[in-house]
């Protein structure tokens, strides 16, 4: 949860809207499905993801122009594909948490093949049920 909160704050405080240059973001309501930030000027919605990766993995994603992500709740994420939500992925180094790259993925490139279902939570998990 701390990593998730940090990533949203980092983007909100350090990055501007990609579609509407130099515009700031507003944080979406807590637990709003598949949306984390919205541009105050153009109203573009963004989902923020954090992923640890080596420089080789980052280069691989960029060179192949292929992005896949494990979603929070699969059916909600799939249903929201048509809502034109862009993604920002913070790629960080696993041990130091140093940000290595921030990838921007336009909603036009998000499709069903990009979304990987998450394994079911165990019955002992706090969020299960």
For residue 94, tell me if it sits in a domain: yes
CA atoms within 13 A on the CB side of 100: 18
Domain span at 103: 2-116
Inter-residue contact 44 to 86 (CB < 8 Å): yes
Higher pLDDT, 114 or 13: 13
Q: Where are the alpha helices (DSSP H) in the chain?
A: 2-14, 55-64, 74-79
Q: How many domains does the chain have?
A: 1
117: how many CB neighbours lie within 10 A of its CB? 12
Instruction: Answer yes or no: is pLDDT of 124 > 80.
Output: no
| pLDDT of the residue at 71 | 62
Q: How many residues in the chain?
A: 129
Considering only the C-alpha atoms of the chain, give the largest distance between any 2 of them, rounded to a whole number of Å: 45
Q: What percentage of the chain reaches a pLDDT higher than 70?
A: 75
For residue 127, tell me if it sits in a domain: no
Q: What is the DSSP letter of 86?
A: E
| pLDDT of the residue at 83 | 81
In whole angstroms, give the CA distance from residue 127 to residue 10.
25
Angle ∠(40,100,67) on CA atoms, nearest 5: 70
For residue 121, tell me if it sits in a domain: no
* CATH code, 24: 3.40.210.30
For residue 16, tell me if it sits in a domain: yes
Burial class (CB in 10 A: 0-12, 13-18, 19+), 10: middle
| pLDDT of the residue at 2 | 41
For residue 128, tell me if it sits in a domain: no
For residue 124, tell me if it sits in a domain: no
Higher pLDDT, 67 or 36: 36
Residue 115's nearest CA partner among 69, 80, 82, 72 is 69
Instruction: Answer yes or no: is pLDDT of 25 > 80.
Output: yes
For residue 125, tell me if it sits in a domain: no
For residue 129, tell me if it sits in a domain: no
Structure tokens at 85: 């939500």
């Amino acid at each position: 949860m701390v990593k998730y909160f940090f990533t949203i704050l980092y983007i909100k405080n350090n990055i501007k809207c990609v579609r509407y240059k130099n515009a700031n973001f507003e944080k979406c309501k807590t637990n709003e499905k598949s949306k984390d930030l919205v541009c105050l000027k153009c109203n573009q919605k963004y989902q923020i993801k954090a992923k640890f990766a080596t420089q080789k993995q980052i280069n691989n994603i960029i060179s192949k122009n292929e992005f896949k992500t494990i979603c929070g709740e699969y059916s909600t994420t799939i249903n929201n594909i048509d809502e034109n939500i862009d993604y920002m992925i913070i790629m960080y180094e696993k041990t130091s948490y140093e940000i290595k790259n921030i990838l921007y993925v336009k909603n036009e490139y998000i499709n069903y093949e990009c979304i990987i279902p998450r394994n079911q939570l165990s019955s002992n998990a706090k969020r299960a049920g």
